[in-house]
């Protein structure tokens, strides 16, 4: 089985490092660029299996913009939005936009890993699209 490739776009260096470490430990191939611009370039050029992006990003970007750009280049990518502000309203907006999962920061490593493994288990998102790798 191919190891899933995950693109992490998070502007907070410590959180970006933590997410990368947690997912790498699980055997995923993780790419976590240091800038949103670099992440957008990679996310629209190279095929990843999963996008993990923060909602509030620096340099005038947000996770919805990142998601739209990456999903337009790779419509089959699964996507996880993470945010300290992940309330019911943001979660509903994210799911309606097409995100497959929303996680509230701070999150447990098992929650993040579980969300990624759920995609690999062949689950479907809200539109019926298969999320397996």
Angstrom distance (rounded) from CA 44 to CA 89: 28
81 phi-psi bin (left φ>0, alpha ψ -120 to 50, beta other): beta
Question: How far apart are the two ends of the chain, measured CA to CA in Å?
Answer: 9
Q: Are 77 and 49 in contact, with CB atoms under 8 Å apart? A: yes
Report all structural domains of the chain as residue ranges with CATH numbers, in order of start.
5-120 (3.40.50.2300)
Token pair recorded at residue 12: 């907070």
For 50-88, the pLDDT digits (tens) are 999 999 998 899 999 999 999 999 999 999 999 999 899
Q: What is the pLDDT of residue 1?
A: 52
With 60 as the cut, is the pLDDT of residue 130 above it? Answer: no
Other CB atoms within 10 A of residue 124 CB: 12
47 phi-psi bin (left φ>0, alpha ψ -120 to 50, beta other): beta
């Amino acid at each position: 089985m191919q190891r899933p490739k995950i693109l992490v776009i998070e502007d907070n260096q410590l959180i970006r490092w933590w997410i990368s470490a947690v997912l790498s430990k699980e055997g995923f191939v993780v790419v976590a660029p240091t800038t949103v611009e670099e992440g957008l370039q990679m996310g629209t050029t190279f095929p990843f299996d999963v996008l993990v992006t923060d909602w509030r990003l620096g340099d005038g970007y947000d996770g919805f913009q990142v998601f739209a750009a990456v999903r337009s280049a790779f419509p089959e990518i699964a996507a996880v939005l993470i945010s300290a502000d992940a309330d019911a309203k943001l979660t509903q907006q994210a799911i309606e936009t097409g995100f497959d999962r929303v996680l509230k920061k701070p999150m447990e490593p098992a929650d993040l890993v579980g969300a990624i493994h759920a995609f690999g288990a062949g689950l479907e998102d809200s539109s019926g699209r298969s999320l397996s790798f």
